[in-house]
Amino acid sequence: MIDALAYSVVALAGVAVIWGILTAIVNKPPGKAQLLYAAGLEAVTVVQSIIAAAKIIGGFRPVELATTIGYLIGIVILIPIAWFWANVERNRFSGVVLAVAALAVFAMTLRLLMLWTPAG
């Protein structure tokens, strides 16, 4: 994992949370820009998980290896599922669904940063 990249994910996810809540407040479904933004967040998250996986394969051992791997996998599936779920029925709640998923990505990435310390 690269700290700068992880903090980028945290910041991008934070904006996605606020954006999702804002569209709900103004009672609109997420627009094209918001959906593209969510796709961008997903792309950065995937890159981060791939880099982290490469480092683990390369020999890095975080304290909680199994938990870290679980987080690295879990974090990349949230946005795609939320995207699908938000688009089946498009209304103000679609934005909240995206916000909930982004909040999970936000929290999980912060947790990953804490987990990412060498064992031993």
* Site residues, another protein (CB under 8 A): 66-67, 70, 74, 77-78, 81-82, 85-86, 88-89, 91, 93-94, 96-97, 100-101, 104
Q: How far is the CB of 29 from another protein (least distance, A)?
A: 11
Q: Give me the least distance between CB of 9 and another protein, in Å please.
A: 17
CA dist., res. 81 & res. 75, Å (int): 11
12: left (phi over 0), alpha (psi -120 to 50) or beta: alpha
Give the nearest distance from C-beta 110 to another protein in angstroms.
13
What are the beta bridge partners of residue 62?
118
Residue among 1 and 99 whose Cβ is closer to another protein: 99
Q: Which tokens go with 111?
A: 């947790």
| Residues 6+ positions from 21 with CB-CB distance below 8 Å | 95, 96, 99
Choice between 2 and 61, CB closer to another protein:
61
Provide the 8-state DSSP code for 113: H
**Measured from the CB atom, is 37 or 71 closer to another protein?**
71
